[in-house]
């Protein structure tokens, strides 16, 4: 698999493992896909094995038998096309709201990648049809509910397969009905794609995989890379504006506990706070001229930010390892082995993916919880180091950011509920044939809501820290700028650090500074967009260099 950039990104589907970046490129950014000749040749070879078995008088699961609890019934040749078609139609039984377009495209891509391994026994034309649908931006409607995460994401995958057969609703990006629901047959015809006519085993090959939960894991990892760096930016902004100390982030101290995520987060905080006159304003110097911070021990939400953010980073790294293994998998049941056997197996069970999806939701909730505590600290005159109550213009007349903190607290409470694991649940199905399921799809869906919540909580912290910094800089300017090194003639200039200052300047392009009470919801939304679009991290990085 390679991703190349010409006039448009192209992801090569060769039968080799995809990367998380490749999944994101296709699902989120609309990259095209290209099936290689090697992948098509491998599919043709395994298809020959399936066709030989179709002529065998002995029953072979998925080729000449029913499915699930009906697996022991032999299906005569004349009914096998109906069997495959009926399988897709009956399993396309989702309900509830549509899931996001990027989730459906990830689902389509990952099933295509599995087909291209040559281990499913599907004909090359099946993969070619999926590739053509992706490139034509035809997005089948997939619903919120329907997957138990064992035998894979059956209902979501069945809705995609149904569209490839020319049935069911889809959405298209251009032409008549753009953005509206369109019949799949109409959309395929407009794109010049012939609807599939399934043969032995192909219906099963299209619906038996962990592609939905895996696709959402890949998208979540992309989101987390941005959000965890944003959390470091927010924490640095809060440390600075709350007159916190950067001393606990020293490399030698952090190195005494060698977790890589903690080291990366602490390095970000050091970089973002480097040269801050605000931090320097509460430093003194010992007899030898070494700086000493007057803040001996900050609250945990400031001092321990690298430990919590770093643990979340390490959790994401573990999840990325699992995602990499799953992306290297060929999941179907039965599968065509390299030596030409067709064997039933249990690789469709979603437990490995479900566990890390749940684990990430725990980490997300904790990072958000710490962020909200820093926000709350700014608003309390007993803890905010001399700032006005609630950062209000005229406390008592104005409420300031009081209710913005309520919003963050409400989201954090929701994130704690979403951190309850889905993967510990199991409801037997298919007449007890599928008597243990992973609930991986549900774990992925709640993680997406958690990530959205984390972005909003960080936005509230950034907005609060920016207002606090304005007030702090004004106070320090009036006080003369803080402590100077012994023997120095001049006090340090009163300004933010380069990194935090760049983020402050960015926020001021979207929301106003301190003043009388005003409508806050649009401001929270504006900063949330800056977080989601990666502009907060980009602004900091432009000022201080790349962040971890």
Give per-residue pLDDT as tens, 242-270. Answer: 999 999 999 999 999 999 999 999 999 99
How many whole angstroms separate alpha carbon 334 and alpha carbon 67? 11
Lowest mean pLDDT among 308-312, 391-395, 414-418, 435-439: 435-439
Q: Which residues pair with 182 in a beta bridge?
A: 170
pLDDT surpasses 50 at 484: no
Known catalytic residue at 130: no
Tokens (6 digits) for 520: 């806050």
- 491: exposed, middle or buried (C-beta count within 10 Å: 0-12, 13-18, 19+)? middle
Q: Return the pLDDT at 491.
A: 44
Whether residue 326 has a cis bond before it, omega within 30° of 0: no
Which of the pair, 153 or 178, is modelled with greater confidence?
153
pLDDT surpasses 60 at 6: no
Task: Tell me the per-residue pLDDT of 36-67, one tens digit each, with 9 for 90 and over.
Answer: 999 999 999 999 999 888 877 777 777 777 76
Strand order in the sheet with 9-13: 3-5, 9-13, 32-35
Lowest mean pLDDT among 148-152, 277-281, 364-368: 148-152
Mean pLDDT of 188-198: 97
DSSP code, position 72 = T
| Domain boundaries, given as residue ranges, for the chain | 3-209, 218-544
pLDDT surpasses 50 at 2: no
| CATH level 3 topology of 3-209 | Fumarase C; Chain B, domain 1 (1.10.275)
Assign 406 a pLDDT band (cuts: 50, 70, 90). Answer: very high
- The residues, ordered by sequence, that sit 6+ positions from 429 with a Cβ below 8 Å of its Cβ are 148, 150, 435, 437
pLDDT surpasses 80 at 382: yes
DSSP code, position 452 = H
Q: Return the pLDDT at 492.
A: 45
Catalytic residue, candidates 61, 130, 300, 406? 61
Q: Return the pLDDT at 374.
A: 98
Which of the pair, 386 or 152, is modelled with greater confidence?
386
Q: List the alpha helices (DSSP H) in 328-391.
A: 351-379
Q: Return the pLDDT at 310.
A: 98
Tell me if 271 sits within 8 A of 250, measured CB to CB.
no
Helix axes 260-273, 535-544, angle to 10 degrees: 70
**Mean pLDDT, the chain, as a whole number?**
91
Q: What is the dihedral of CA 349, 351, 356, 359, to 10 degrees?
A: 150
Smallest CA-to-CA distance from 440 within 426, 429, 454 is with: 426
Q: CATH second-level architecture of 218-544?
A: Up-down Bundle (1.20)
* In the block, residue with structure tokens 């309850």: 420
Lowest mean pLDDT among 23-27, 175-179, 409-413: 175-179
Smallest CA-to-CA distance from 441 within 222, 146, 160 is with: 146
Tell me if 350 sits within 8 A of 150, measured CB to CB.
yes
Q: Which residues pair with 11 in a beta bridge?
A: 3, 33
pLDDT surpasses 60 at 77: yes
Q: Return the pLDDT at 487.
A: 38
Assign 430 a pLDDT band (cuts: 50, 70, 90). Answer: confident
Q: List the alpha helices (DSSP H) in 294-401.
A: 300-303, 305-327, 351-379
Smallest CA-to-CA distance from 465 within 309, 233, 279, 227 is with: 233
Q: List the alpha helices (DSSP H) in 382-488.
A: 402-418, 440-479
Task: Find the length of the chain.
Answer: 548
Q: Return the pLDDT at 13.
A: 98
Q: List the alpha helices (DSSP H) in 124-199.
A: 124-135, 154-164, 184-190
Query: End-to-end CA distance of the chain, in Å?
Result: 26
Assign 286 a pLDDT band (cuts: 50, 70, 90). Answer: low
Task: Tell me the per-residue pLDDT of 297-347, one tens digit each, with 9 for 90 and over.
Answer: 899 999 999 999 999 999 999 999 999 999 999 999 889 999 998 888 888
pLDDT surpasses 90 at 393: yes
Mean pLDDT of 67-93: 83
pLDDT surpasses 70 at 294: no
Lowest mean pLDDT among 280-284, 297-301, 451-455: 280-284
DSSP code, position 77 = G
pLDDT surpasses 70 at 482: no
Q: Return the pLDDT at 227.
A: 98
Backbone angles phi, psi at 332, to 5 degrees: -165, 165
DSSP code, position 326 = H
DSSP code, position 11 = E
């Amino acid at each position: 698999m390679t991703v190349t950039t010409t006039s448009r990104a192209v992801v090569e589907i060769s039968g080799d493992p995809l990367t998380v970046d490749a999944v994101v490129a296709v699902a989120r950014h609309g990259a095209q896909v290209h099936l290689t000749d090697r992948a098509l040749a491998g599919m043709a070879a395994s298809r020959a094995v399936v066709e030989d078995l179709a002529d065998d008088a002995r029953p072979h699961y998925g080729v000449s038998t029913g499915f699930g609890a009906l697996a022991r019934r032999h299906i005569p040749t004349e009914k096998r096309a109906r069997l495959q078609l009926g399988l897709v139609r009956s399993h396309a039984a989702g309900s509830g709201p549509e899931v996001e377009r990027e989730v459906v495209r990830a689902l389509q891509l990952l099933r295509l990648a599995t087909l291209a391994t040559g281990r499913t026994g599907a004909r090359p034309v099946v993969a070619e049809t999926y590739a053509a649908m992706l490139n034509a931006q035809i997005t089948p409607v997939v619903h919120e509910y329907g997957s138990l995460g064992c035998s894979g994401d059956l209902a979501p995958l069945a809705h995609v397969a149904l569209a490839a057969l020319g049935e069911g609703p889809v959405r298209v990006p251009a032409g008549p009905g753009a953005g509206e629901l369109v019949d799949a047959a109409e959309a395929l015809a407009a794109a010049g794609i012939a609807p599939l006519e399934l043969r032995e085993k192909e219906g099963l090959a299209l619906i038996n995989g962990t592609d939905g939960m895996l696709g959402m894991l890949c998208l979540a990892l992309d989101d987390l890379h941005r959000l965890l760096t944003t959390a470091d930016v927010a924490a640095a902004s809060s440390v600075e504006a709350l007159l916190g100390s950067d001393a606990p982030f020293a490399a030698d101290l952090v190195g005494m506990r060698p977790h890589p995520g903690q080291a990366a987060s602490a390095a970000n905080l050091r970089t973002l706070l480097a040269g801050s006159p605000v931090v320097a304003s509460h430093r003194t110097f010992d007899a030898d001229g070494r700086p000493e911070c007057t803040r001996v021990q900050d609250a945990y939400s400031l001092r321990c930010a690298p430990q919590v953010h770093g643990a979340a980073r390490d959790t994401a790294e573990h999840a990325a390892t699992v995602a990499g293994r799953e992306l290297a998998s060929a999941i179907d049941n039965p599968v065509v082995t390299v030596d030409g056997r067709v064997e039933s197996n249990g690789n469709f069970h979603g437990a490995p993916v479900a566990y890390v999806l749940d684990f990430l939701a725990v980490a997300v909730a904790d990072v958000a919880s710490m962020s909200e505590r820093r926000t709350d600290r700014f608003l309390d005159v007993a803890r905010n180091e001399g700032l006005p109550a609630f950062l209000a213009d005229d406390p008592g007349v104005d409420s300031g950011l009081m209710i913005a903190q309520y919003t963050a607290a409400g989201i954090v409470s929701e994130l704690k509920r979403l951190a309850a694991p889905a993967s510990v649940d199991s409801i037997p199905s298919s007449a007890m044939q599928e008597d243990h399921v992973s609930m991986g799809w549900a774990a992925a869906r709640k993680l997406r809501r958690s990530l959205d919540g984390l972005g909003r909580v960080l936005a509230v912290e950034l907005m609060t820290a920016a207002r606090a910094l304005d007030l702090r800089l004004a106070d320090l300017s009036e006080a003369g700028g803080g402590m100077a090194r012994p023997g120095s003639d001049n006090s340090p200039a009163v300004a933010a650090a380069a990194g935090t200052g760049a983020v402050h300047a960015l926020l001021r392009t979207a929301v106003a500074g301190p003043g009388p009470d005003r409508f806050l919801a649009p401001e929270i939304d504006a900063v949330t967009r800056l977080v989601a679009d990666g502009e907060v991290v980009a602004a900091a990085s432009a000022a201080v260099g790349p962040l971890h």
